[in-house]
Structure 1
């Protein structure tokens, strides 16, 4: 057991804590009495299946409300109903009210592609979304939300991280898609890339109980602001579908409350506790007895298993096995050991509701398994292709069937998941025939390179790229088309040390330890010259460290060796701009600006900066406008537009642009600083307020500190000015600010 699991207090029913008030509703008493049964080890599952409800047929829950709960990065072995101790009483009680699938797997250990499979019923090899940030589901693919909305449901989604932003396509079909992770403040924020579970469940509960649409930041589907509240009769007759996504167990593990000693376990416990708040609200409103609830994880977390610290590189069950619970009115508690997968969620929900299935599905309904029926042969496809797409490493794909897992790599792997759940003993040399059968079945799926064409490319603006990096993800293009054969040297297992050094370099970059980061990245590139994103990050390190000429040399040499794409070209343009060569910057950037590629939007933004510096304001406005048409909440681009208008002598237009920037990202210091400059002549008090906020966010900006002190002094607000003057005199580097220090020191003598 980990952390507090071994020492946590236990309730009167073994692994489960005492039942909360919402458990005492009549139809929940069976589940409470059966709680000990559903938390028994998996070895007892076959006995549990006998309790399955034979009444579960197609349409058995017609017109029921649907609550879909996805918990990011949740290992199955941390859930009490799966043998994980007392961290998750809410999920455990849901399991005691329905069916838990003990052999459920993710199709991919990454957030966006996993959720795309959950909401479309397709595997990544079909829907084409293989990693985070670079692509989204195609517009013609039906989603669970679009199907249910067509069936008369009101639909709402409340997501906890930017990686599921509406731009990636999962908002389609939702009346409300609340992805406002960039417009909230709270005790835990990471570059405004995520928000905590308490905020997500509060918003979701408010939407469910209000019976009306709330404000959505999704530009695709703005919610009507003048819609009157629904009557109680409308709430009873119009079913709803609500999806909530809780990101908390994802690294970094920094829950706002202490519930368990281990940081990861603490995040799991916090997320489960907040989920309990939502369940209680539904019970109080009398909605539990008319609501189908599906709860699952998008993937797990390695936590050091097989040498991986988090997720995304490998596809062992630490990251691939997930909890999957289906709970609903009058269901008997049961456990099923049928092979299950994320693509089964959509067909299972539609089957229970009696709604027609889409023509193309990879998943299948789990309703027969919930009745205890034999499911027949089942093959579950999985992949982990991020390293293939961004580093040119060998593609990792595989299948699970009948308790065996086959991983297709240059050094293939085969595991007996029943007798070796930790996947410690590779059976590839002892089960050649079984491995060959599974390899042949895997080959029936389309190769990843061809499936990429099915996805929709998503333009990534600089803010989006920064938020993805804050979550530990890189939305980058690879150079996969140049590789035909892969050897053991390309197998991720052989490259684990390289992966660790690369991840360490990213952490050092975040801490602004640029020299150390550069040294590690240079090692990585020396060992793997085709490691595309390492070049991208090393160039950024050189630019941030004040040496853009080294970035230029790096990227030009890489291009000569065939390592190039639109992002690397865009970074080369940024390096030329940082080196003061705007002519060369424009020459590099113009061919890729406007392109529908991950680097196209960033190139447009950088080219707009180039043209602003050249006072070609009309060209720059056009470029910034094109970026904002594709990414309306790109805060940095709004801020750049504000700087353009200041340079063009239009402070009113500049203020409006800066206001849009801080609305999109309240922590963008440069936008607050620009807003202060735009307001200075017409609204000095407003300028002071904006500069104070900027200084809170960027306390070492001594130019800003000087301007704030001087403006307060000029406005005769001497007592307020004094603390800023003294701070500037005390902290500003004298080698750069000697004259300013002398001036301000004279004001307070």
Structure 2
């Protein structure tokens, strides 16, 4: 909405993003004349590698030529930095300086990147006529409430974020606003400060009134659907107002943030009237599950998001009653995160032991079964892997990546008809799934059908031209068909 408003008003609009979660194929490029996500792409399901994020200095290097170019029209630019996300591995010298506090190292590195960006803008003489906003979409819990990262809970450790505003000519410089404002207020603030009209669907309110001393605090609503859609646990809603914060959960929570900013003393039972009033206000906002936010993710997307730390998918049937409270499952979630780390470190035996324990504690955790199947497959226990994948699919039949991995396991077990059925089922859900297309092509080759195999390999190459494997396979199929020129071209591609 914001970029579209500026674009409509004649501004040049540009975005420079650092992570796959903001790739243009999600539709976030609307309103931007230039949307730079160069070099950021998902996990290729043929294993050719990926670059799920780029460091902040790379993003700024890409953004500066566009920001500093001479132009006749005003501009709106968005520079997105992703560094303070797990795994925390700041470059040197920050990595060494903050070896004991790696998250702080990422934050410090990001601070330096922002400083360099602003310095370049100032040196170009642009700051005197430019509004600068710095903010974040979330923080990290760092186990203050048992969560390492973000998404599971909506305590202030993750939802209270900085908002810095620098105006031309340093207007209102040094002003600190203690009253509560919200991220939904950023867009109307920028539109008011630039004299542009507000679209009808804007829900926030400009904070420009604080500059004149007339601004007032406003209630802040937040929610997380992560527990529901990723883990099969209850989603959470919160309202923060008047010094209190109420979290709508199976076991509701109420905190007096003035005396308990760390949200450790739940007053819901001691102050039932306040809790009931805030709950009613949350419900009056229409807080409810929007099933349209749930969809079937492709194999590529699932692997890419998992690599960025967004683990899990919930069972297809969640029922109609209350789901488990995330507070009661935080230790299970921590075990899942640890198992994920063990898998990435190739410590499969330890991961298997831990995942079996997780399943004993919560047998409806789809990804616990899926990851157990993967770990068993990687230790050549294909019968055990088959059981793990089938257990995951019983809970979530449309789990594309698990279906694809089950097909590979069935091939290893010599169950060719089952494998073919698995891969065909994947393609029904994800027609571009190159892993399944490639496996079906290999199976056609093994069955003595090079023409059918080549058709499969050519489809893979239409989607992913870079990996060597489909080129080599296409070369083999072409050779068997007597097309030696095509075979030579494919083998030469692989060799170079």
TM norm. shorter chain > 0.5? yes
The alpha carbon displacement at 1:208 in A equals: 1.1
1:177 aligned residue:
35
Point out where structure 2 has 5 or more consecutive residues left out of the alignment. Answer: 42-48, 446-451
Residues 34-79 of structure 1: per-residue CA shift (max 9 Å, x gap) = xxxxxxxxxxxxxxxxxxxxxxxxxxxxxxxxxxxxxxxxxxxxxx
SS of aligned partner of 1:325? strand
Please name the residue that 1:564 is paired with: 397
Where 1:415 maps in the other structure, the secondary structure is: strand
Runs of 5+ in structure 1 lacking a partner? 1-142, 184-189, 211-231, 629-633, 657-674, 681-686, 691-749
Give the TM-score of the pair, scaled to structure 1. Answer: 0.59
Residue 477 of structure 1 contacts residue 565 of structure 1 at CA under 8 Å; is this kept in 2? no
1:461–1:601 Cα contact (<8 Å) kept? no
Corresponding residue number in structure 2 for 1:486: 322
Partner deviation per Cα, 1:90-134 (whole Å, 9 max, x = no partner) = xxxxxxxxxxxxxxxxxxxxxxxxxxxxxxxxxxxxxxxxxxxxx
| Structure with the greater alpha carbon radius of gyration | 1
Matched, 1:647 2:485: no
Deviates more, 1:193-202 or 1:260-269: 260-269
2:189 equivalent in structure 1: 348
SS at match of 1:605: helix
The equivalent of 1:17 in structure 2 is none
Structure 1 residue corresponding to 2:8, chosen from 150, 165, 170: 150
Aligned to 2:339: 505
Q: Name which of 271, 291, 294 aligns with 2:130.
A: 291
Report whether the alignment pairs 1:250 with 2:88.
no
The answer on whether the counterparts of 1:300 and 1:318 sit within 8 Å (CA) in structure 2 is yes
Q: How many residues were matched structurally? A: 472
Check 1:158–1:580 CA distance in 2 against 1; reply closer, same or farther (3 A cut).
farther
1:272 corresponds to 2:108? no
Distance change in 2, residues 1:651/1:446 (3 Å): farther
Question: What is the SS of the residue equivalent to 2:128?
Answer: helix
**Distance in 1 separating the partners of 2:387 and 2:179:** 56
Q: Structure 1 residue 472 and structure 2 residue 331: aligned?
A: no
**Structure 1 segments of 4+ aligned residues over 6 angstroms from their partners:** 650-656
Match of 1:565, SS?
A: coil
In structure 1, the residue matched to 2:354 is: 520
Shift in Å at residue 495 of structure 1?
1.3
Note closer, same or farther for the CA distance 1:558–1:154 as it changes in structure 2 (3 Å cut).
closer
Query: Are residue 326 (structure 1) and residue 140 (structure 2) matched?
Result: no
* Alpha-carbon distance change, 459 to 501 in structure 1, aligned in 2, over 3 angstroms: closer
CA RMSD for the aligned pairs?
A: 2.7
Normalising by structure 2, we get a TM-score of 0.87
Could you tell me how far apart the structure 1 residues matched to 2:317 and 2:199 are? 32
Match of 1:614 among 444, 449, 452: 444
Q: Deviations over 1:179-234 (max 9, x none)?
A: 12448xxxxxx962221111111111122123xxxxxxxxxxxxxxxxxxxxx4xx
The 8 Å contact of residues 156 and 241 in structure 1, kept in 2 or not, is answered as yes
2:179 partner SS: strand
- Alpha-carbon distance change, 323 to 569 in structure 1, aligned in 2, over 3 angstroms: same
Q: Secondary structure at the match of 2:131?
A: strand
Aligned to 2:492: 678
Query: Whole-Å Cα distance in 1 between the matches of residues 255 and 85 of structure 2?
Result: 27
Q: What is the deviation of 1:167?
A: 1.7
Distance 2:364 2:66 in 1: 48
1:537 aligns with: 371
Kindly provide the CA deviation profile for residues 422-479 of structure 1, in whole angstroms up to 9, marking residues without a partner as x. 1121111122111111111111344553x241x59585343x44332332123x5422
Write the distance in 1 (CA, Å) between the matches of 2:318 and 2:297.
23
User: Match of 1:727?
Assistant: none
Q: Post-superposition shift, 1:385?
A: 2.2
